[in-house]
Structures are given as C-alpha cells and as structure tokens.
Amino acid sequence: MTSTTMEQKIRRIVAAKAQCDPERLGRHDDFEEVLGLDSLDRLDVLAAVEDELGVQIPDDQFSEIRNLDDLLKALGARPCEIAA
C-alpha cells in the first residue's frame, strides 16, 4: 500500500469517527481537542486502522498518537512520502 493510499484510508476512518469531511481534516488537528473525540473514540480510531489496514500499532505509542500525523508516523509512513 502506498503512503498516499494509507493516508486516504486513515483520513476516512478519522473523519467518520469525528463526523467531518476527510479532505478538511488537518494533519495536526488534535483528535480530542480539535475534533472533539473522547479518549475511547481515539482508541476506536486506532482499532479501525489496525483492522482495515491489517497493521499493528505498537502499544507504547498509543498515548503519543494525538493527530493524523502522529498516526501516520506510528505506522512508519515517512513524512516525505505522505501526500500533502
């Protein structure tokens, strides 16, 4: 999967949870403070990402993932490969 495809999928997952437009989702929009998700919503997003992308996010990074950018980095997508 390319980084672009990965980001599109993750954008769709986050946007569905936050009930917003995937294209208007800022890379650094804080899941809880900007998007209004609660702590369990944030874990729901991580679960959906793991499930749909067939990946496993390292447990020690759960707390650090606060936005889309953090999530992409946790999945190993190099920033230079991520579509703007």
Q: Segment near other proteins (CB under 8 A), from 2-10, 20-28, 58-66, 73-81?
A: 58-66
Asked if 16 interacts with other proteins (CB under 8 A), we say no
- Cα(18)–Cα(55) distance, integer angstroms: 22
- Cα(47)–Cα(45) distance, integer angstroms: 5
Residue pair 35/20 in contact by the 8 Å Cβ criterion: yes
Cβ closest to other proteins, residue 8 vs residue 61: 61
Cβ closest to other proteins, residue 38 vs residue 81: 38
Residue pair 46/2 in contact by the 8 Å Cβ criterion: no
Cβ closest to other proteins, residue 15 vs residue 48: 48
Collapsed DSSP state (helix, strand, coil) of residue 54 = coil
Which residues in 38-57 contact other proteins (CB under 8 A)? 38, 40-41, 43-44, 46-48, 50-51
